[in-house]
Structure formats: structure tokens, C-alpha cells
């Protein structure tokens, strides 16, 4: 069953909710009693997600976005 959480509550406790989602919980986020969005665990088998580039292979810790954009 989805649990309902207010947007302010989510903002103020985002780390706690991120951990709960990692453990499989799903939440519907509302503002003024109206649903805004749903937070659920990421399904790694979902074919919509595709790795295009892994910048940590270029430089440990990744590449700064400003450096990347300046070279485009």
C-alpha cells in the first residue's frame, strides 16, 4: 500500500524517505491535499534507463559539468 506524505514533510526529511524507498517503500507526495507525484524504488530491469557515458571511468569522482559543457 502506498503511503501519503506531504511535500513539506518530504523536503524536511528527504534522507529518511530516500532510505525508506531504497528498502522498497512507495510514497505519494501531496501538496494542499492534491497528489503531485509518486516516489518508488528504481527498477533496474526497466529498459527506459540507459547508461550513455560513465564519466567516473574518465576521472575518479566524475567530471565537473562545467568542464564537460565547455568542451562541447
CATH architecture of 1-41: 3-Layer(aba) Sandwich (3.40)
Print pLDDT tens along the chain (72 aa). 779 999 999 999 999 999 999 999 999 999 999 999 999 998 766 667 676 777 777 777 777 778 777 877
Which residues are CB-contacts of 64 (< 8 A; sequence separation ≥ 6)? none
CA–CA distance from 22 to each of 15, 16, 18, 35, 56 (Å)? 11, 10, 6, 21, 23
User: What is the pLDDT at residue 66?
Assistant: 82
User: What is the pLDDT at residue 63?
Assistant: 73
- Read off the pTM: 0.60
Domain residue ranges of the chain, discontinuous segments joined by +: 1-41
Amino acid at each position: 500500500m502506498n503511503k501519503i506524505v506531504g511535500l513539506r514533510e518530504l523536503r524536511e526529511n528527504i534522507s529518511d524517505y530516500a532510505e525508506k524507498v531504497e528498502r522498497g517503500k512507495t510514497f505519494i507526495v501531496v501538496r494542499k491535499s492534491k497528489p503531485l507525484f509518486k516516489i518508488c524504488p528504481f527498477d533496474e530491469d526497466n529498459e527506459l534507463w540507459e547508461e550513455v557515458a560513465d564519466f567516473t571511468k574518465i576521472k575518479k569522482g566524475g567530471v565537473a559539468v562545467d568542464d564537460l559543457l565547455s568542451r562541447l
